[in-house]
């Protein structure tokens, strides 16, 4: 017979980390909140951002994109993520190829790996680890606003340059570079 005090251990149930669908659901809900979207200060010269509380320990951002701005080619290392356009329209260029995580400086990409997505207001996507892409606001007149979420919180962002089929690792940013 067990003693009542011995069986009354207080351990919280383990909570599963958010998956891509959870992150996409979160960015949809935030993007639908007009007050949150309106709270972002917009700058005509450069991107602006505000950190948000993401679900399940994830990292989330509200980002403003002036006309003609973009991220350049990058990935989010081991983090999965999702983003959604809350206002305006964004374009995503991405690679449908799994790149090696480390140990390379220059890669020649195979033909047919390029993907292009137009993401007008209300459209978004989720992505897995090592997803290489660039996001841009190609409008010449209108700001865009988007919501992004990543899990685990971004350990680093790898920045690339691209000339034709050649992708070159240029540098690695750490959280202290953007927070």
Q: Rounded CA gap, 127 and 119, in Å?
A: 14
Q: Write out pLDDT tens, residues 128-138.
A: 998 999 999 99
Q: Rounded CA gap, 77 and 172, in Å?
A: 10
Q: What is the architecture, at CATH level 2, of domain 17-98+114-155?
A: Sandwich (2.60)
CA–CA distances in Å: residue 66 to residues 48, 71, 79, 83, 136: 9, 12, 26, 17, 10
Residues 74, 150 contacting (CB under 8 angstroms): no
State both tokens at 115. Answer: 């993907």
pLDDT (average), residues 38-57:
95
For the chain, the structural domain boundaries read 17-98+114-155
The residue assigned the tokens 């809350």 is 86
Model pTM score: 0.88
Q: Rounded CA gap, 26 and 162, in Å?
A: 32
pLDDT for residue 116 is more than 60:
yes
Q: Write out pLDDT tens, residues 142-170.
A: 999 999 999 999 889 999 999 999 999 99
pLDDT band at 7 (very low <50, low <70, confident <90, very high): very low
Taking residue 48's Cβ as centre, other Cβ atoms within 10 Å add up to 16
């Amino acid at each position: 017979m067990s003693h009542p005090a011995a069986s009354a251990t207080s351990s919280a149930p383990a909570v599963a980390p958010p998956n891509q669908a959870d992150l996409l659901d979160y960015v949809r809900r935030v993007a639908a909140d007009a007050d949150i979207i309106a709270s972002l200060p917009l700058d005509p010269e450069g991107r602006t951002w505000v950190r948000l509380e993401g679900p399940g320990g994830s990292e989330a951002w509200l980002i403003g994109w002036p006309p003609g701005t973009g991220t350049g080619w990058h990935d989010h290392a081991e983090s999965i993520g999702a983003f959604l356009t809350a206002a305006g329209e964004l374009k995503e260029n991405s690679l449908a190829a799994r790149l090696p995580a480390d140990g390379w400086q220059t890669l020649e990409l195979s033909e047919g790996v390029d993907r292009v997505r137009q993401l007008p207001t209300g459209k978004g996507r989720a992505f897995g680890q090592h997803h290489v892409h660039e996001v841009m606001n190609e409008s010449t007149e209108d700001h865009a606003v988007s919501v992004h979420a990543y899990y685990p919180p971004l350990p680093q962002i790898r920045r690339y340059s691209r000339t034709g089929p050649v992708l070159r690792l240029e540098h690695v940013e750490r959280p202290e570079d953007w927070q």
